[in-house]
Amino acid sequence: MTNNDIVQKLWNLCDVLKDDGINYSDYVTELVLLLFIKMVHENTESGILKKHHIPEGCRWTDLNSKSGLNLMDAYKRILLALSSGKDANGEQIHDDQLISAIYADAQTRLREPRHLEQLVKALDQIDWYSAQQDGLGDLYEGLLQKNSTETKSGAGQYFTPRALINSMVRCIQPQPGEVVQDPAAGTAGFLIAADRYIKDHSDDLFDLDAKAQNFQRNKAFIGVELVPGTRRMALMNCLLHGMEGDDEGVVHLGNSLGMVGATLAKADIILANPPFGSSKGGEASITRDDLTYKTSNKQLAFLQHIYRNLKPGGRAAVVLPDNVLFEAGVGNEVRRDLMNKCNLHTILRLPTGIFYAQGVKTNVLFFTKGHPKDKLQDENCTANVWVYDLRTNMPSFGKRTPFTEEHLKPFEKVFGKKADGTSKRSEGEWSWNAKEADVVEGAEENDDLAKSRWRVFSRGWIRDTKGDSLDISWLKDKDSVDAANLPEPEVLAAEAMSELTEALREMDGLMRALGAGDEADIQKQLLQDVLGVGSELA
């Protein structure tokens, strides 16, 4: 069995849980509480799980040897013991803070012992040898990804497409010895991808001395997540990928826009996809008093945290919605401050439809703290901003047309080999249907740059022409309607009335064909009174 086969088999277990009243939003959490114990059982003799073990009395063999009410009672007892570190008699059975964090406040919502027994037996029937060959961490991450694609689960709101994560990491190029941070960690996708990149591109990791190896395992990666259930998934994900973190794990529980964020140490690299929306108070409120520009816009607050929290020369890649690029007032001030203190060298305009929140238009901002020639400089650090338009005239992405790393390869090519964005660049990238795009208004027909997806704009032009807005586009959407060529308003109104009248006539006929003639007469009279189209419907 491949990992994909196992993921699908695990996902099919949801049918068992649905019979017990558990919805999609709780399914993965319910499953992984069991799954982690099983994974530890299958992997006790290798890797990171040697250190973080499940204590005696709470292991898989303490579950799969029972049935009925005995199984349910044992499972509830195990969850409580893993969370508190104490058994039913109050005796200390483990002092592993990471295991306690993973199982913090964990409790099952299963009510039927037979459903729990089905889950236990199903997990025992999986080919775990194959799973270990591909990596238990990758299996777990595949389950999270499957959850994100199910719109009923609502999980996609914190799930960044893996293709995008991997592309951003390849551009930023994390190195051994660097601190990588994600202040909105979700299920830790960015941190795990950064760790994987370092391992894949560093042949001498095993040659590091003990201190350096300890740094990579315990201090190189740090994330913050607001939602306890999501953080639980992130901790399991990191641990199964061989990432320990400090006593609280790689991902800490808290609000980066509150005191937790204010106390984070500065990082060499920040990779993030901050949550969409604005602060409405409560636990997600913005309480930072160290941010210069006060705002209720969470993305603008996160952006301030990120460029302030970079070390001199530090690199960042951040997913942000369009409103951050054009919002006036505080938005203008934050963008000016960003371009002043950092070299905002690249903006990637992303296609619509690649996130759970359909229709949300997003971008990736790439920037480096300081000036390219002086990392300590904190004024006038941005000279030029390169923009790659991967949005205009792109396919409509979704389940039928998945967004893949192939779509991002042309961007990575023009981004260049230098992680700080200082590679030699030239305009004129033609990838992804750019040849078919119309030229912008006012451009010459033979102006190749007008059709290019890759263009550069000076800081002066952004200031003088755009008023410091970074919402920069130039390609014409081949499906767009030119307002200058529309008919007169009265013609449009007449066409709309004609289409509406025809639709009403068809509905009237359908209702009468279904034997609802009296209701049709009533509705027709109401519509005639409202629209004044009695003669047309007669």
Of the chain, the percentage scoring pLDDT greater than 90 comes to 41
Q: Looking at residues 240-265, what average pLDDT do you find?
A: 90
Other CB atoms within a 10 A radius of the CB of residue 455 amount to 19
Q: Looking at residues 346-374, what average pLDDT do you find?
A: 88
Smallest CA-to-CA distance from 426 within 415, 438, 437 is with: 415
Question: CA torsion 466→468→474→477, rounded to 10°?
Answer: -100
Strands of the sheet containing 267-272, edge to edge, are 251-253, 221-225, 180-182, 267-272, 310-321, 362-369, 342-349, 384-389, 454-458
Quick check: 202 pLDDT over 60? yes
Rounded CA separation 534/364 (Å): 54
Higher pLDDT, 441 or 303: 303
What pLDDT does residue 155 have? Answer: 43
What pLDDT does residue 175 have? Answer: 95
SS3 224: strand
Which range, of 15-24, 101-110, 206-215, 457-466, averages the lowest pLDDT?
15-24
Task: Looking at mean pLDDT, say which of 33-47, 240-254, 339-353 comes out highest.
Answer: 339-353
Dump pLDDT digits (tens) for 275-318: 876 555 444 578 888 899 999 899 999 999 999 999 999 999 99
SS3 349: strand
Quick check: 226 pLDDT over 60? yes
pLDDT band at 153 (very low <50, low <70, confident <90, very high): very low
- Beta-carbon contacts of residue 396 (< 8 Å; ≥ 6 apart): 352, 353
Q: pTM score, two decimals?
A: 0.81
What pLDDT does residue 305 have? Answer: 97
What pLDDT does residue 495 have? Answer: 64
| Residue 147 token pair | 């959850």
Quick check: 326 pLDDT over 90? yes
Quick check: 452 pLDDT over 60? yes
Higher pLDDT, 486 or 246: 246
What pLDDT does residue 477 have? Answer: 77
SS3 434: helix
Quick check: 435 pLDDT over 60? no
Quick check: 419 pLDDT over 80? yes
What pLDDT does residue 45 have? Answer: 46
Q: Looking at residues 161-176, what average pLDDT do you find?
A: 95
Cβ–Cβ < 8 Å for 303, 380 = no
Q: Which residues pair with 317 in a beta bridge?
A: 271, 366
What pLDDT does residue 214 have? Answer: 85
| Residue 227 token pair | 């939602």
Higher pLDDT, 14 or 110: 110
Quick check: 534 pLDDT over 50? no
pLDDT band at 410 (very low <50, low <70, confident <90, very high): very high
What pLDDT does residue 354 have? Answer: 83
Mean pLDDT of the chain: 82
Higher pLDDT, 270 or 449: 270
Of the chain, the percentage scoring pLDDT greater than 70 comes to 78
What pLDDT does residue 322 have? Answer: 93
Higher pLDDT, 375 or 28: 375
| Residue 233 token pair | 């998934």
Smallest CA-to-CA distance from 474 within 510, 447, 506 is with: 447
Q: Looking at residues 187-200, what average pLDDT do you find?
A: 93
What pLDDT does residue 527 have? Answer: 65
Cβ–Cβ < 8 Å for 431, 410 = yes
C-alpha distances (whole Å) from 499 to each of 363, 394, 496, 507 are: 38, 31, 5, 12
Quick check: 439 pLDDT over 50? no
DSSP string, 256-316: TTSHHHHTPPPEEEEEE-PPSSB--SGGG----SS-SS--SBHHHHHHHHHHHSEEEEEEE
Quick check: 158 pLDDT over 50? no
Rounded CA separation 216/197 (Å): 13
Type of residue at 183:
P
Rounded CA separation 66/75 (Å): 10
pLDDT band at 195 (very low <50, low <70, confident <90, very high): very high
Smallest CA-to-CA distance from 62 within 52, 43, 77, 49 is with: 77
Q: Looking at residues 31-43, what average pLDDT do you find?
A: 81
Quick check: 74 pLDDT over 50? yes
Quick check: 459 pLDDT over 90? yes
Q: Looking at residues 231-254, what average pLDDT do you find?
A: 88
Dump pLDDT digits (tens) for 387-398: 999 998 888 787
What pLDDT does residue 429 have? Answer: 72
